[in-house]
Amino acid sequence: MSAPVHERQNPAFYALMTALIVMSLGPIVLMLSNSFKLNVDIMSDTSSLLFLPTLKNYETVLCNTLWYTPKHVEYCNPTFGWALGNSLIIAIISTAITLVTGCMAAYAIVRFRFLGRGSLSMTTLLMRMVPPAVLLVPVFGIWTFNYCWGDECLDGTYTGIILVYVAMNLPFVIWILQSFIVQVPIQLEEAARMDGANPFQVFYLVLLPVIKPGLAAASIFTFRIAWNEFLLADALLDRKTRTVPVTIVNSLTEHDIDWGVIMATGTLLAIPPIIFTFVASKQIIIGMTAGAVKG
Amino acid sequence: MPNIVFEKVEKSYGAVQVLPPLDLSIDDGEFTVLVGPSGCGKSTTLRILAGLENLSGGEIYFDERPISALAPKERDVAMVFQDYALYPHMNIARNMSFALRLQRVPAAEINKKVRGVAEMLNIAHLLERKPAELSGGQRQRVAMGRALVRDASTFLFDEPLSNLDAKLRAKMRIELAEMRNALDKNMVYVTHDQIEAMTLGDRIVVMSEGVIQQQGSPEELFTRPANKFVAGFISSPTMNFFDGELVLEKDVLWARGTGFLLQISPEQTQRLNGHAQRNVSVGVRPSAFSSDPAVGSPIELELVVSEYLGAQSVLVTRCGGKDILVEIEGRAPGTAGTVMTFGVPQKDIMLFDQESGGRL
């Protein structure tokens, strides 16, 4: 047996690959390295890769959550710490609601026969056909003036933004999960019924575990969309409920742009989705129904 | 173990009727096989019995208790599916114990039952594995084990062996027959394979186009088929049919057609005396042909192909433009084109009406 022969690639291929890698990694490397620099180093014209790393930017960002008060911080601005918490709450809750309702809706559309089934599944896509910016103005108006309880209106609340994110992501989740549920052999559900499972047990004990990869994929996408969203969050949230992307942009003022702090916040912003994606993608295994039925 | 009675059970999908009104009764502790070509309604009948399909008319009784409105879980039936339908995310032990866990049976008892059934089916060493790691035969056993663990009163099998290769199927067939003898349960078994039907069934129900053609013991179906369909369906290789007419000559009845003239036995002659000149199909099983032309009526057949199977050969021969199968011991005596003379014993001739297919 001879060793497998690797075909020699065209040098242009490698050049292209390198260019692509630089393009995708460049901004991340830049953000990461700048977050460990003092503003002096960031602005200096000399070599950008030679610098004394410092954690000062991170200390500034997280000053109100640290157990000590960093010496260089004159005024501890708690916005970043809060925003990080807001982002987590909003993204996690909206993802959870979207998944729970999405999987049930998808199951109903795939398995039950009812009048208007086809048009229902098409209309779920309508929401995705308009850009969020189009929704922004009406939603802002409705949230600010129509849904109020006493002085409290939906705008500026977690509930308000979570509702919008659920509505935005639901069609997408329904469509992803539909394609997964269709692949689950109906015999599995019949076998469960014969084994004495009621419809909810069929759904929770048999169907959901089988489509776990689909749930994982859908949750990654919804979490990331809710986490990154800027436009609606900027308009609908107030200073107490603001998410990280809004906070970053708000910190670009005419008085001062603290690049080091912004880069550190950006780095912190990138960490939760990475962790989430790693955890969720563990569930994505190929051949989810392998062994269930013949062929 | 209930007596199961189908009373005028019907099934239609919209305007399409897949099952015309059907009456059937299954006795206590019987192994009943529903057999027929694909699309004959046998699987639908089983699924209605299981509760997976609603019936459009009629009623099913378990010991005189109507059950058509009950959910599958309330009927005390267990089912083995054609393509196994194992839960891919559970290991074998959990697959088998699923029904018991839903019933909240104590864990110790579940363990004992699963072990017991797994040992009976020789899958005890696989309990920790996932279905994907098992071969087809092993999965089939697990599927059966899952049904057996439940100790239901009635077991339903929907073509359980049709996905296995020929050798494994034969082996599983024997194991099933053994299991049938060990368990005193109602079993209803659907298959399109008449060999399975013959070897397993206490009673065979032959169906075609939603209609029960005949039901009875394997011997009854083989020796006294009610019509041409049953005669052709039961036994392998399949029965030969010659088209011809009945002629009465000097008090002896003959079946005559292109290439053959067969003498009918005196008993049949007496019975069919008034039927002379009638168009009939003459049925002769491949194994009935005798190599001695002096036995019964002689018939000349031209050899076309010989399928040598070892102990016997199946000869495809031609007579009056029709293919006739002949089963003989050992090898074919000649090559293609050889004309051979066989004897057709009187007792092995079955007569059917050409139009209705009914036995005469």
Nearest to B206 by CA among B215, B198, B194: B215
Tokens 């082996």 belong to residue = B171
Both tokens of residue B171?
Answer: 């082996």
**Both B95 and B185 in a single domain?**
yes
Distance from the B145 Cα atom to the nearest Cα atom in chain A, whole angstroms: 12
Q: Which band of pLDDT confidence, cut at 50, 70 and 90, is reported for residue A207? A: very high
Count of C-beta atoms within a 10 Å radius of residue A292: 24
What per-residue confidence (pLDDT) applies to B249? 82
In a domain, B359, yes or no: no
Q: How many structural domains is chain B composed of?
A: 2
CATH number of B245's domain: 2.40.50.140
In chain A, residues with a C-beta closer than 8 Å to the C-beta of B84 are 292-294
Residues B165 and B21 in one domain: yes
Indicate if B162 and B282 belong to the same structural domain: no
Task: Choose among A23, A194, A204: nearest CA to A103.
Answer: A204
Q: Do B73 and A188 touch (CB under 8 A)?
A: no
Best probe of the A interface among B82, B87, B103, B134, by most A CBs < 10 A, is B87
Instruction: Clarify whether residues B48 and B161 are in a common domain.
Output: yes
Report the pLDDT averaged over residues A267-273: 88
Alpha carbon of B62 to those of A48, A140, B23, B50: distances in Å?
85, 63, 14, 12
pLDDT for residue A64 is more than 80: no
Say yes or no: A292 contacts chain B, CB-CB below 8 A: yes
ipTM of the complex: 0.82
Q: Report the residue count for chain B.
A: 360
What is the pLDDT of chain A when averaged over all its residues?
84
Looking at the structure, tell me whether residues B299 and B213 fall in a common domain.
no
Mean of pLDDT values over A130-142:
85
Q: Does B301 reside within a domain?
A: yes
Query: For residue B146, what is the nearest residue in chain A, using CA coordinates?
Result: A195
Both structure tokens of B57: 């008319």
Do B17 and B110 fall within a single domain?
yes
Estimate to the nearest angstrom the gap between the alpha carbon of A246 and the chain centroid.
Answer: 15
Residue A100 structure tokens = 């729970």
Task: State how far the Cα of B257 lies from the Cα of B243, in Å rounded to an integer.
Answer: 6
What CATH number was assigned to the domain covering residues A87-227+272-281?
1.10.3720.10
Tell whether B200 and B272 lie within a shared domain.
no
Is residue B349 situated within a structural domain? Answer: yes
More confidently predicted of A182 and A54: A182
**Inside any domain, residue B313:** yes
Residues B87 and B104 in one domain: yes
Are B208 and B274 part of one and the same domain?
no
A74, exposed or middle or buried, with CB in 10 Å at 0-12, 13-18, 19+?
A: exposed
Angle at A90 between CA A84 and CA A95, to 5 degrees: 125
> Does B188 fall in a domain?
yes
Same domain? B74 vs B220: yes
Give yes or no for residue A92 having a pLDDT over 80. yes
Do the Cβ atoms of A193 and B134 come within 8 Å? no
Region class of B159: left (phi > 0), else alpha (psi between -120 and 50), else beta: left
Domain boundary among B194, B209, B233: B233
Is A206 part of the contact surface with chain B (CB cutoff 8 Å)?
yes
The whole-angstrom distance between B315's CA and the closest CA on chain A is: 36
Contact list in A for residue B159 (CB cut-off 8 A) is none
User: Residue B106: inside a domain, yes or no?
Assistant: yes
Residue B119 belongs to a domain: yes
Residues of A in contact with B131 (CB under 8 A): 290-292
Last residue of one domain, picked from the residues B186, B202, B233: B233
- The continuous run of DSSP H or E covering A215 comes out as helix A212-228
**B98 & B206 share domain:** yes
Structural domain containing residue B159: 4-233
d(Cα B275, Cα B74) in Å, to the nearest integer? 54
| Residues of B engaging A, defined by a Cβ cutoff of 8 Å | 50-52, 71-73, 77-79, 81-89, 98-99, 102-103, 130-134, 136, 139, 146, 150, 163
Q: Is residue B134 part of a domain?
A: yes
Model confidence at A48, pLDDT cuts 50, 70, 90, reads low
Hey, which residues does B61 pair with through a beta bridge?
A: B5, B66
The secondary structure of residue B224, as a DSSP letter, is: S
Which segments of chain B have a pLDDT < 50?
none
* Same domain membership, residue B208 and residue B143: yes
* pLDDT for the residue A3: 61
Amino acid A5: pLDDT? 66
Choose the final residue of a domain: B218, B233, B248: B233
Distance CA A128, CA B291 (A): 79
Write the CA distances from B272 to B170, B277, B285, integer angstroms: 42, 11, 21
| Range name among A67-76, A163-172, A259-268, B60-69 with the lowest pLDDT average | A67-76
Q: Band of the pLDDT at A99, cuts 50, 70, 90?
A: very high
Q: What is the CATH number of the domain that holds B194?
A: 3.40.50.300
